[in-house]
Chain A
Amino acid sequence: MTVRVQEADFDLSSEIAAMRRGRPEIGAIAAFIGLVRDVNAGEAVAELMLEHYPAMTQKALEAIVAQTKQQWKLDAVRVIHRVGRLRPSDQIVLVAVAGSHRGEAFQACEFIMDYLKTQAPFWKQEQTPAGTRWVEARASDALAAERWKKT
């Protein structure tokens, strides 16, 4: 398991290569990348500031990954989340999951993102033409995390 919280950008190919190296048992890798959009709630976004709770962030992400590994048999998991100042089109988050087959890789990848969205202590602040504003949590994110509890 690799979990990193960093200001620097990341490269998908190098991360996947590092996950796969020396692991011929891996048959499937699913990866998700979240990006900064140039518009949100009807307003142009010039810049995004990602604040976090440093002492808790790593711990919260590791707990989510540990929970994921209890539910699916996985060979490797990699989560990278950026903090600090970001611009439209920048990468924000990478979740990559490796397993024997696609089923668990797809599901575990989505599960990690759904829990990250509701459990990991990050907050986005946007710069728009109207000024600076905090991004509101979406009810749909809470529902997305909730649905995994029904299975």
Chain B
Amino acid sequence: MALTVLYFARLRETLGVAREEIALTPQVSSVAMLLDHLRGRGGDWQAALAPSQPFRVAVNQDMANVATALRDGDEVALFPPVTGG
């Protein structure tokens, strides 16, 4: 199970990464499970991606949520609430 994970705006700055390729076991089949994996890195990851934080998630460029299923090759983006317009 290979995913591309993108980070934007303040989240990218806090975590110090804009893009990474992550190889995971096939058991990681939802956004919630990916988030658990990322929080497992501890420190800023645990704090910035805590369930109480108001970040958003997109899967393959569509707005998604923690229940969204993930498949091999998906592009997942994590970012703060949007502030365009």
Interface residues of A (CB under 8 A from B): 34, 50-53, 55-56, 59-60, 63, 81, 92-93, 113, 116-125, 134-137
Query: Which of B63, B77, B84 is close to A122, meaning CB atoms less than 8 Å apart?
Result: B84
B37 cross-chain contacts in A, Cβ below 8 A: none
Interface string of B29-50 (1 = CB under 8 A from A): 0000000000000000000000
A55 cross-chain contacts in B, Cβ below 8 A: 61, 75
Is A50 a contact of B84 with CB atoms below 8 Å? yes
Query: Which of B6, B61, B79 is close to A123, meaning CB atoms less than 8 Å apart?
Result: B79
B26 at the interface (CB under 8 A from A): no
Is B77 a contact of A81 with CB atoms below 8 Å? no
Number of A-B residue pairs at CB separation under 8 A: 74
Is B84 a contact of A52 with CB atoms below 8 Å? yes
How many residues on B have C-beta within 8 angstroms of the other chain's C-beta atoms?
A: 18
Report the minimum CB–CB distance from A36 to chain B (whole Å). 11
Is A117 a contact of B82 with CB atoms below 8 Å? yes
Query: Which of B10, B61, B77, B85 is close to A134, meaning CB atoms less than 8 Å apart?
Result: B10
A121 cross-chain contacts in B, Cβ below 8 A: 8, 58, 77, 79, 82, 84
Query: Which of A59, A63, A113, A123 is close to B83, meaning CB atoms less than 8 Å apart?
Result: A123
Query: Which of B54, B62, B80, B82 is close to A118, meaning CB atoms less than 8 Å apart?
Result: B82
Q: Which of B1-31 contact A (CB under 8 A)?
A: 6, 8-10
Is B83 a contact of A124 with CB atoms below 8 Å? yes
B10 cross-chain contacts in A, Cβ below 8 A: 123, 134
Kindly name the residue among B58, B80, B83 whose own CB sees the greatest number of chain A CB atoms within 10 A.
B83
Is A125 a contact of B9 with CB atoms below 8 Å? yes
Is A56 a contact of B83 with CB atoms below 8 Å? no
B9 cross-chain contacts in A, Cβ below 8 A: 51, 123, 125, 134
How far, in whole Å, are A53 and B85 apart by their CA atoms in the complex?
Answer: 14
Interface string of B51-85 (1 = CB under 8 A from A): 00010001001110000000000010101111111
Is A93 a contact of B84 with CB atoms below 8 Å? yes
Is A59 a contact of B61 with CB atoms below 8 Å? yes
A123 cross-chain contacts in B, Cβ below 8 A: 8-10, 79-80, 82-84
Kindly name the residue among B10, B75, B85 whose own CB sees the greatest number of chain A CB atoms within 10 A.
B85
B83 cross-chain contacts in A, Cβ below 8 A: 117, 122-124, 134-137
